[in-house]
Amino acid sequence: MNSADLSNILEEHKVWITSMRESGSRANLCDANLCGANLCDANLCDANLCDANLCGANLCGANLCDANLCDANLRGANLCDANLRGADLRGANLCDANLRGADLRGANLRGANLRGADLRGANLRGANLRGANLRGANLPDLTFVILGEKYFISITNGEYVRAGCQNHTVEEWRKYSKQEIAEMDGRKALKFYPRLLDIIDFYIGKGERPDWLTSKEYADEVTE
């Protein structure tokens, strides 16, 4: 894509954003070749970048909040301090990307390739890392992916814990009632809950546990 076309798309998108979607047009850069493009500080909030080639692109400080980056090629891209809050990055190639200080809260990184990516200082609270390749990645403090359990488990920034499809704060996990845990996945969740708290204690530090875990009723229910 030539620079003139890209500038026009970005300008129309800016109007679309500032007019609350009443005029201008949403940036549709699906399948676009933006390899090495300079998009530093660009406003691409809610833009469609599905399958786009952004290999080596400069997206430092860019606003990609709620953008569709599904299957996009962001290999080696500079996303330092970028706003990727709520972005769809499923299957995206972020190998060796610079994501230092990026805001990835609530982003969907399921199946993304983050091999060798630099995520130091990034905010991953509530992000979905299920199936993501994190080999060799530099992760933020207190961020872990735990494999080999009955559920996929990730801990992000020491605050959020995802177990299967459930994503809650450490504090919330430690205070749930028996009924609330049962409503998540029935008896399987009830049986696994103490193990999940063990994992949280190991990685984050020991904390309180609900009294119902020591009740005879609970013991009978999970050993039937």
Distance between CA atoms of residues 158 and 125, nearest Å: 9
In terms of residues, how long is the chain? Answer: 224
The pLDDT score that the predictor gives to residue 51 is 98
Count CB neighbours of 215 within 10 A.
Answer: 12
Which architecture characterizes domain 1-140 according to CATH?
3 Solenoid (2.160)
pLDDT value of residue 223: 86
At residue 1, the pLDDT reads 85
Average pLDDT per consecutive 10 residues, the chain (224 residues; last block may be shorter): 92 95 96 97 98 98 98 99 99 98 97 98 94 95 94 95 96 97 96 98 96 94 84
User: Could you state, in order of their start, the residue ranges of all structural domains in the chain?
Assistant: 1-140, 141-224
Q: Which has the closest alpha carbon to 166: 184, 192, 180?
A: 184
Query: HEC states along 14-62?
Result: HHHHHCCCCCCCCCECCCCECCCCECCCCECCCCECCCCECCCCECCCC
Q: Indicate the helix (H) or strand (E) that contains 180.
A: helix 178-204
- So what's the pLDDT on residue 15? 97
**179: which DSSP letter?**
H
